[in-house]
Amino acid sequence: MEDEKLNEIDRLIAQDCDEGMRVDKFLLKLLPDSGLRERRRLIENGFVQVNGRNCRSGLKIFPGAEVVLFAGEERSCFVEILSRINVVKQGDGFGTVYKPEGIHSAAVAGSLEPSVEECLDKIFPKHDPILANRLDFLTSGMLLIAFGVERENEFRAYEDSGTVDKIYHARVHGIPAEDFIVKNRLDTADRKRTKVLNEQAGPERWSYVKLLESFADGTALLEVRIAKGARHQIRAHLAHMGFPIIGDPIYGKEDGAERMFLHHQRIKLPGFEAVCETGWV
């Protein structure tokens, strides 16, 4: 988003007493009647800058930091997006929705493209829905929705303790001889392409790969289980092992596929499980 499109509303200099405070909490000083989700949305949409730069909600404030709040074009949930999103399961504390390929999970900073996140209040009214996980633009499958900040924090704790299972289906080039685990650490500094490093990551970042079916054309259907994924984790890990996902424009090869064949099929955490079958093999 170009600066000339932004209209400044207010600004504030952080004091010593603000040190270590998250930006999404610090914004209460400028928006005392706002909710956490509203403040996070402003940050994600690029309407908050710290020392002249866009930031993330979890950035820690430091003394002397200048926080500026802007007004921008309001984003809204588009009717055509709502029509393509289905509720898979709704429980007391969590819900899941199906996101088809070609739709953003979350609001993209500086972009006016619609996302599932912006539709959550319409899908789950009066539940304070918070997007708990994200899928790539080209990946289909389930998004987990936490009903309130307490449930969101609960999910993060489950992730950190290794008690979350996220199961994906991937159609890939090549057929593995046996099941395998990819343990390589990932460098996600470049938002466009994740690098696979020759170092071992913690178990929560491993990708567990199981062969489900092989095909005569030299492709295979794989099940990939992760606990706490990093950006492009499955795509980068599979390509690194010699099994790029069909239709992957970054880690794959030119194959003329009509889509990227990666689908988030199942999620399981204590007290909640949801399944969203894919229509392809």
The whole-number average pLDDT for the span 125-136 is 93
Q: Are 182 and 197 in contact (CB under 8 A)?
A: no
154-211 confidence digits (pLDDT tens): 999 999 888 999 999 999 999 999 999 999 999 998 878 999 999 999 999 999 999 9
Per-residue confidence band for 4, with pLDDT thresholds at 50, 70 and 90: very low
Write the CA distances from 84 to 36, 117, 177, 204, 274, integer angstroms. 27, 13, 37, 32, 19
User: Which residue is it, tokens 């866009």?
Assistant: 54
Helix/strand/coil for 180 = strand
Give percent of the chain with pLDDT exceeding 90. 67
What is the spatial distance between Cα 272 and Cα 137, in angstroms, rounded to a whole number? 25
**Exposed/middle/buried for 148, CB within 10 Å: 0-12, 13-18, 19+?**
middle
What is the spatial distance between Cα 138 and Cα 140, in angstroms, rounded to a whole number? 7
Write the CA distances from 105 to 100, 150, 279, integer angstroms. 10, 21, 20
79-115 confidence digits (pLDDT tens): 778 888 999 999 999 999 999 999 989 876 555 577 8
Kind plus residue range of the DSSP H or E element containing 195: strand 195-200
202-251 confidence digits (pLDDT tens): 999 999 999 999 999 999 999 999 998 899 999 999 999 999 999 999 99
Supply the DSSP string of 95-109, one letter for each residue. EEEEE-TTSBSSPPT
Q: Which fold has domain 3-71?
A: 3.10.290
Per-domain residue ranges of the chain? 3-71, 79-159, 163-275
CATH 3.30.2350.10 is the classification of domain 163-275: yes
43-62 confidence digits (pLDDT tens): 877 889 999 998 988 899 99
Q: Is a pLDDT exceeding 70 seen at residue 261?
A: yes
The whole-number average pLDDT for the span 124-136 is 93
Q: Among 3.40.50.720, 3.30.2350.10, 3.40.630.10, 3.40.228.10, name the CATH number for the domain at 79-159.
A: 3.30.2350.10
